[in-house]
């Protein structure tokens, strides 16, 4: 297990900052062997999203940023998938990461696909975790309706989080509470603006341009991006290895971090 892994209430204190473009981007780094794993979180999450996975990746260098407008990173003006991807490209260059394996969860998976399409030379590998090419949420989708119903200030105890952070009962309550606290610090207009960009995204062409070795990990019980989304990913990302976590939903790295870590390390053995 990882040495000196902070408790959940100490996670924010591990953050460092770099300036990418005109934004201060926060990240948590854990030293280890190269190539680094660059872990990109999902919508409304922060680097904390990977705090349960990190001990299972002990020995590898881990870099876990907060996307713009999330956690401790500045928001900036744009919130398109390509804005997030270009921020991550800047982070790779500033930290001088040598062709890291980019692991993206949900929104982060979309960002990682866009990054792989736009900045091929910066990446050594791609992991798409609970991802999609085209969310295409209907207006009455629970996520759209749930976010529309939120009002500032958002309470970390809002019932919406029971659905949004739904996962197995084994996931630590302190971890989920930290995620809810951080998500609640985002103003609702930012939630809605980012979600609208996610909703309208189509990464099919970007995925077809990916040249990096690719691993797709999906939860069999994912309520957001189920079987049809995973089939589309496999079709567009030719040659990708596919791993299904039979007992997981949208957050396999919370529910079964050992399985996720094993799949990543096996796919990108060095």
Q: What is the mean pLDDT of the chain?
A: 95
| pLDDT for residue 52 is more than 80 | yes
| pLDDT for residue 3 is more than 80 | no
Percent of the chain with pLDDT over 90: 96
Which domains does the chain carry? Answer: 14-267 (3.40.50.1820)
Instruction: Express each pLDDT in 155-198 by its tens digit.
Output: 999 999 999 999 999 999 999 999 999 999 999 999 999 999 99
What is the rounded average pLDDT of the residues 217-246?
Answer: 97
| pLDDT for residue 5 is more than 90 | no
| pLDDT for residue 29 is more than 80 | yes
pLDDT at 270: 63
| pLDDT for residue 2 is more than 90 | no
pLDDT at 269: 84
What is the rounded average pLDDT of the residues 230-249?
Answer: 97
Residue pair 72/14 in contact (Cβ under 8 Å)? The answer is no
The pTM of the full predicted model, rounded to 2 decimals, is 0.97
pLDDT at 7: 81
What is the rounded average pLDDT of the residues 104-124?
Answer: 96
């Amino acid at each position: 297990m990882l040495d000196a892994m902070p408790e959940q209430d100490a996670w924010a204190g591990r953050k460092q900052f770099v300036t990418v473009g005109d934004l201060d981007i926060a990240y948590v780094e854990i030293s280890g062997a190269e190539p680094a794993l660059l872990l990109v979180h999902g919508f409304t999450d922060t680097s904390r999203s990977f705090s349960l996975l990190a001990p299972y990746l002990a020995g590898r260098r881990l870099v876990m940023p907060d996307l713009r407008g999330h956690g401790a990173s500045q928001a900036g003006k744009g919130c398109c998938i390509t804005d997030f991807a270009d921020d991550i490209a800047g982070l790779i260059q500033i930290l001088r990461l040598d062709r890291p394996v980019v692991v993206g969860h949900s929104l982060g998976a979309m960002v990682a696909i866009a990054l792989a399409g736009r900045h091929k030379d910066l990446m050594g590998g791609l992991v798409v975790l609970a991802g999609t090419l085209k969310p295409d949420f209907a207006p009455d989708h629970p996520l759209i309706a749930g976010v529309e119903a939120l009002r500032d200030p958002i309470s970390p105890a809002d019932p919406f989080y029971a659905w949004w952070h739904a996962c197995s009962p084994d996931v630590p309550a302190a971890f989920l509470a930290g995620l809810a606290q951080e998500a609640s610090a985002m103003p609702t207009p930012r939630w809605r603006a980012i979600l609208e960009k996610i909703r309208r995204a189509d990464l099919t062409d970007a995925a077809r341009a990916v040249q990096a070795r690719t691993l797709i990990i999906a939860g069999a019980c994912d309520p957001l991006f189920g079987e049809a989304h995973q089939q589309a990913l496999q079709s567009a990302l030719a040659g990708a290895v596919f791993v299904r976590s039979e007992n997981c939903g949208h957050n396999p790295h919370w529910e079964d971090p050992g399985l996720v870590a094993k799949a990543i390390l096996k796919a990108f053995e060095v």
